[in-house]
Amino acid sequence: MILVWKKDSIIDVLRRIEQEEGEQIILKFPFGHPILHNYLSLKIIHHKSSPKQVLIITSDIRSRNIGKPIGIEYSIIQDEWFFKTKEKTNLLHHNYTFFEYLKFEIKKNFQDFRKIISKKIQTIPLSHIGQKKKSPPLMILFISGLVLMTFLFSYIFYFAVNKTYIYITPEEFVDSKAKNITFTEDEIDGTTLKNTEKLIKIEKNIYLEENYWTTGIKEWSEKRATGNARLINKLPEKIQLLPKTRLLREDGVLYETLDWTNIPAATSDTPGEVVVKIQAKSYDSKWQFTGSRWNTLSGIYLEIPGLKSNKEMIFATTESDIRGGNDNFEKIVNTDDLKNAEAFITEKLKAKARSEVQDQIKQENEKNNATYDILNIDNIYQYSDISIHFPEDPKIWQEQEDFLVTGSLKISTYIYNTDSVINTLRQAIDQNILTQTEKVVAIHKHSLRAANILYQSSNPFEVKATMEIEYLVTHNFIQKDNGYIDKLKGLITGIPIEEAEKILINDPKISRVKISSRPFFIKNVSSIEENITFEPMQ
């Protein structure tokens, strides 16, 4: 063992290394020696000692972060005899327990005690044999030394070499995986290419009858509400409005002006205003009959919907109650009712067909414990044999509140086994993640979708689609061989626990963190990276 003094320079240390014999160079440095914190000096020592292993003994634990990457070993044990035993490797990696090391020290001290006794006996002259002589209290010295060593190694293992446990809740991230899959209604056998799924065709006939309400009004039968409105202009210029300018109430009821209207410009403190006569329109903004809803009170805000800008500067309020509207008008079949009724019943038929097909798939899945679903691509629903009839044969201009419409069609679509596709994507996810650092938490089955259609044919029906699914992934902090964890350990080694928690909680891969230390009164993270353990938070 080479003892390095505070005043020794790198030259002095290198001279002693040249004179050192043995398979290992052991250097004992005092705390805070400049060489311990000088990367270049440590590099020279390591190179000069090659091929021998360099071991530095020092209580300056933080200095090991500089020399360890070079290949230098460190220890806080200052016992030259110990380093000559075959058991030294385990201690250098801090795998000894306190009781194993205590056993080692008892054995060593006992051997030293035997050597002292043996040497003492050999030095007794033959002339003194048989004479009584006071012997030194060797047993007391042995026991005292043993007690001292016990205290020393208690400090080493439970204070200097403390353990730190970092409990982590990892942050969860949403990622997605896509894979090209071919769907076909052809039979699939052993010769079929990989990533091919079977499509099953579903057909269903749908019938529907509905009453369609006529939208025409017999001339002179309706009485529209009328009244006065105050038009307001907050702009510094005069505004002119055309006849039949629309005014919109908040609930969609529409009114209109009857004549040309000029609204004066606003002055510095007063907006320009004018009172005009207005009349309700037959239909509201949603093309529903207005009827008695025309009637309204005074002071109601009316917007001018035809304005593209300055709507808050030009508007109206009802100046008086708007009265006269009623629901006693006579309805007739107008020229658009038959065409609109046909379109109306057709859309309702298609909606009913889709709903009944989905209900049928759900019931069969529950009955057979299956997971089939409709392939979610455009035009997956096909409609045919569409037939619309008017049993009452309504005539244009005929007085009629409503008339009956019937319709029927055939719907066809294709379903596939979603679990089979998800299993294919799950295998792709497992191949994609980094097994040493990532872990899949969950796969969102409801996110399965066709992200892109590569090709499609109709006879037989076949689709090649890029199927995509989302999944939750976290960093695997429990995996030991993890370079990211080693990086985090390097950031927090030896610093106060509170500061270490702040550093870790700011890491994007960590959601929650709590640090505890053994013994409990140690307030710093262990200075030895091997004694820092990451655990899942309970």
**Range from 138-152, 220-234, 309-323 that averages highest in pLDDT:** 309-323
Among 273, 303, 329, where does a domain finish? 329
Q: What is the pLDDT of residue 413?
A: 96
How far are the Cα atoms of 110, 499, 534 from residue 513, in angstroms, in the given order? Answer: 47, 12, 10
Prior bond of 519 cis (ω within 30°): yes
Mean pLDDT value of segment 132-156: 62
307 domain residue, yes or no: yes
- Same domain as 118, residue 19: yes
Looking at the domain assignment, is residue 445 inside a domain? no
In one-letter notation, the amino acid at residue 522 is: I
Contact call for residues 36 and 60 (beta carbons, < 8 A): yes
Element (H, E) at 107: helix 98-122
Residues 388 and 321 in one domain: no
Cβ of 345: how many Cβ atoms within 10 Å?
22
Long-range contacts of 144-149, Cβ-Cβ distance < 8 Å, separation of 24 or more: 145/109, 146/105, 146/106, 146/109, 149/102, 149/105, 149/109
Query: Residue 277: pLDDT band by 50, 70, 90 thresholds?
Result: very high
Q: In terms of DSSP H, where are the helices of 378-496?
A: 418-432, 483-492
Give the pLDDT score at 53.
87
Return the axis-axis angle of helices 98-122 and 138-155, rounded to nearest 10°.
Answer: 160
Provide the pLDDT for residue 102: 60
227-270: per-residue pLDDT in tens? 899 999 999 899 889 999 999 998 888 889 999 999 999 988 88
Confidence band, pLDDT 50/70/90 cuts, at residue 34: confident
In this structure, are residues 341 and 212 in contact, taking their beta carbons and an 8 Å threshold? yes
* Confidence at residue 192, expressed as pLDDT on a 0 to 100 scale: 60
pLDDT confidence of residue 68: 85
- The residues facing 208 across adjacent strands are 407
Q: How confident is the model at residue 402 (pLDDT cuts 50, 70, 90)?
A: confident
Contact between 278 and 258 under an 8 Å Cβ cutoff? The reply is yes
pTM: 0.52
> Of 417, 442, 471, which marks where a domain is finished?
417
Q: Identify the pLDDT of residue 139.
A: 63
Residue 11's pLDDT is what? 87
Separation of alpha carbons 201 and 374, rounded Å: 10
| Residue 166 resides in a domain | no
- Answer yes or no: is 379 within a domain: yes
Q: Identify the band that residue 94 occupies on the pLDDT scale cut at 50, 70 and 90.
A: very low
Nearest CA-CA partner of 10 in 61, 70, 33: 33
Q: What are phi and psi of 245, to 5 degrees?
A: -65, 130
367 C-beta neighbours (distance < 10 Å), count: 8
Q: Does residue 108 sit in the same domain as residue 150?
A: yes
Phi (first) and psi of residue 385, to 5 degrees: 55, 40
145 and 47 belong to one structural domain: yes
pLDDT at residue 89, as a whole number: 45
**Bridge-based pairing state of the strands 73-75 and 261-263:** unpaired
Is 70 exceeded by the pLDDT of residue 118?
no
Query: Alpha-carbon distance 28 to 58, whole Å?
Result: 6
* 26-40, 193-207, 218-232, 376-390: range with lowest mean pLDDT: 218-232
pLDDT over 70 at 475, yes or no? yes
* pLDDT exceeds cutoff 50 at 440: yes
What's phi and psi for 70, nearest 5 deg? -75, -30
Q: Would you say 227 and 319 are in contact if contact means Cβ atoms under 8 Å apart? A: yes
Each residue's pLDDT tens digit, 339-352:
999 999 999 999 99
pLDDT of residue 363: 95
**109 located within any domain:** yes
Mean pLDDT of 23-44: 86
Q: Distance between CA 522 and CA 496 in Å, rounded?
A: 9
pLDDT for position 24 = 84
- Is 32 in the same domain as 57? yes
pLDDT in tens, 404-434: 999 999 999 999 999 999 999 999 998 888 7
- 408 and 338 in one domain? yes
Q: What is the pLDDT of residue 86?
A: 42
In a domain, 121, yes or no: yes
| 90 in any annotated domain | yes
Contact (CB, 8 A) for 391 and 433:
no
Specify whether 7 is located in the same domain as 146. yes
Query: Which pLDDT belongs to residue 92?
Result: 42
User: How do 246-248 and 272-280 pair as beta strands?
Assistant: unpaired
Same domain flag for 209 and 245: no
Q: What is the pLDDT of residue 350?
A: 95
**Residue 102, burial from CB neighbour count under 10 angstroms (0-12, 13-18, 19+):** middle
Predicted local confidence at residue 327, as pLDDT: 63
Lowest-confidence pick of 47-61, 65-79, 442-456: 65-79
pLDDT at 101: 56
Between 204-213, 293-302, 360-369, the lowest mean confidence (pLDDT) is in 293-302
99, 149: one domain? yes
Mean of the pLDDT values across residues 71-94? 58
CA distance 76 to 59: 5
Residue 274 · residue 263 · CB < 8 Å: yes
Helix boundaries (H) for 393-482: 418-432
CA 532 to chain centre: 27
Based on the domain organization, do 370 and 249 belong to the same domain? no
Q: Which amino acid is at 78?
A: Q
Mean pLDDT of 147-157: 63
Q: How far apart are the C-alpha atoms of 120 and 428, rounded to whole Å?
A: 77
Write out the residue range of the structural domain in which residue 370 sits.
200-213+334-417
Question: For residue 73, what is the enclosing H or E element?
Answer: strand 73-75
Least trusted range by pLDDT, from 53-62, 155-164, 484-493: 155-164
> Would the CA dihedral through 127, 130, 133, 136 be positive or negative?
positive
Instruction: Output the pLDDT for position 82.
Output: 56
Same domain, 353 and 204: yes
Q: Which tokens is 504 given?
A: 């870790």
Q: Evaluate if residue 506 carries a pLDDT over 70.
A: yes
For residues 264-292, average pLDDT: 83
Tell me, what DSSP letter sits at residue 264? P
Kindly state whether residue 488 falls inside one of the protein's structural domains.
no
d(CA 203, CA 383): 10
**Dihedral through CA 474, CA 480, CA 484, CA 488, nearest 10?**
110
Mean pLDDT over all residues of the chain?
A: 82
Which tokens is 300 given? Answer: 């109601």
Single-letter amino acid code for the residue at 141: L
Specify the number of domains making up the chain.
Answer: 3
Which amino acid does the sequence have at 331?
A: K
Indicate whether 376 and 263 sit together in one domain: no
